[in-house]
Amino acid sequence: MDWKTAEKKPIKVKVAGPFRDTETVETIEGDFEVDEEYLEKHGGYYIIEGVQGERYPCAIDVFEETYRWCGC
Protein backbone atom coordinates (compact mmCIF):
# COMPACT_ATOMS: atom_id res chain seq x y z
CA MET A 1 0.00 0.00 0.00
CA ASP A 2 1.32 3.44 -0.96
CA TRP A 3 0.54 5.93 1.83
CA LYS A 4 0.36 9.67 1.20
CA THR A 5 -0.19 12.59 3.55
CA ALA A 6 -3.38 14.65 3.51
CA GLU A 7 -4.86 17.35 5.70
CA LYS A 8 -8.51 17.84 6.64
CA LYS A 9 -10.12 20.91 5.10
CA PRO A 10 -11.14 23.56 7.62
CA ILE A 11 -14.86 22.77 7.62
CA LYS A 12 -17.11 23.95 10.43
CA VAL A 13 -19.30 21.32 12.11
CA LYS A 14 -21.90 21.56 14.86
CA VAL A 15 -20.86 20.04 18.20
CA ALA A 16 -22.88 19.13 21.30
CA GLY A 17 -21.36 18.08 24.59
CA PRO A 18 -19.22 16.96 26.20
CA PHE A 19 -21.25 14.03 27.49
CA ARG A 20 -20.10 11.58 30.13
CA ASP A 21 -23.01 9.14 30.29
CA THR A 22 -23.88 5.97 28.43
CA GLU A 23 -26.12 6.45 25.42
CA THR A 24 -27.04 4.99 22.06
CA VAL A 25 -26.23 7.46 19.29
CA GLU A 26 -27.94 7.05 15.92
CA THR A 27 -25.42 7.32 13.06
CA ILE A 28 -25.68 6.73 9.32
CA GLU A 29 -23.86 3.42 9.84
CA GLY A 30 -26.33 2.32 12.52
CA ASP A 31 -26.63 2.73 16.27
CA PHE A 32 -23.40 3.32 18.22
CA GLU A 33 -23.49 2.24 21.85
CA VAL A 34 -21.46 4.47 24.17
CA ASP A 35 -20.82 2.13 27.08
CA GLU A 36 -18.85 2.32 30.34
CA GLU A 37 -15.71 0.90 28.70
CA TYR A 38 -15.80 3.63 26.02
CA LEU A 39 -16.27 6.30 28.68
CA GLU A 40 -13.38 4.97 30.78
CA LYS A 41 -11.07 4.85 27.76
CA HIS A 42 -11.93 8.29 26.34
CA GLY A 43 -13.32 10.30 29.27
CA GLY A 44 -16.55 11.08 27.43
CA TYR A 45 -17.61 12.18 23.98
CA TYR A 46 -19.05 14.94 21.84
CA ILE A 47 -21.77 14.46 19.25
CA ILE A 48 -20.81 16.00 15.93
CA GLU A 49 -23.15 16.92 13.10
CA GLY A 50 -21.23 16.73 9.84
CA VAL A 51 -21.52 18.70 6.62
CA GLN A 52 -24.31 16.48 5.27
CA GLY A 53 -26.32 16.42 8.51
CA GLU A 54 -24.90 13.08 9.64
CA ARG A 55 -24.36 12.66 13.39
CA TYR A 56 -21.73 10.63 15.17
CA PRO A 57 -20.01 10.47 18.55
CA CYS A 58 -16.41 11.58 18.83
CA ALA A 59 -14.30 10.66 21.86
CA ILE A 60 -13.10 13.69 23.85
CA ASP A 61 -9.43 12.77 23.40
CA VAL A 62 -9.84 12.31 19.63
CA PHE A 63 -11.87 15.53 19.38
CA GLU A 64 -9.13 17.51 21.13
CA GLU A 65 -6.52 16.15 18.70
CA THR A 66 -8.65 16.72 15.61
CA TYR A 67 -10.73 19.88 16.16
CA ARG A 68 -10.31 23.39 17.51
CA TRP A 69 -13.03 25.76 18.68
CA CYS A 70 -13.63 28.50 16.16
CA GLY A 71 -15.74 30.90 18.25
CA CYS A 72 -18.06 31.55 15.32
Closest among 52, 44, 42 to 14, alpha carbons compared: 52
Q: pLDDT tens track of the chain, all 72 residues?
A: 999 999 888 888 999 999 999 999 988 889 999 999 999 999 999 999 988 899 999 999 999 998 989 876
- pTM metric for this prediction: 0.78
Please report the pLDDT score of residue 51 as a whole number. Answer: 87
Rg (CA), the chain: 14
Domain boundaries, the chain: 14-66
